[in-house]
Amino acid sequence: MMCDHLGTYSGASRYLREAGELRLVLLCDRCGAERQELGRVDYRPDPEVERARLAAGGAALGGPSAIALP
């Protein structure tokens, strides 16, 4: 049965590596079809910044607890 797209929608983003953009779209919750492009945002991730952010977060999560126990 074909979807009539009359139900609810969710927002999503699609990364376009070659363009260095995120496409912001609406998806039909029932079938997952893209129904509308809401806009585009310039985005080029910097692997070094992401690696540093992950390392800092991983150290905070894996290190000793910040809560002193009696």
Domain that holds residue 53: 9-59
Looking at the chain, the whole-number percentage of residues with pLDDT higher than 90 is: 57
In the chain, how many domains are there? 1
**Per the domain annotation, does 42 fall within a domain?**
yes
Count CB atoms within 10 A of the CB of residue 5: 14
**Per the domain annotation, does 50 fall within a domain?**
yes
| CB-CB contact of 11 with 24 (8 Å) | yes
pTM of the model: 0.60
User: Residue 1 has what pLDDT?
Assistant: 62
Q: Quick: pLDDT tens for 31-51.
A: 999 999 999 999 988 878 777
**Per the domain annotation, does 4 fall within a domain?**
no
Percentages (nearest 5) of helix, strand, coil residues in the chain: 25, 35, 40
**Per the domain annotation, does 53 fall within a domain?**
yes
| CB-CB contact of 35 with 23 (8 Å) | no
- Residue holding tokens 């992401």? 50
**Per the domain annotation, does 16 fall within a domain?**
yes
Mean pLDDT, rounded, of the chain = 82
**Per the domain annotation, does 34 fall within a domain?**
yes
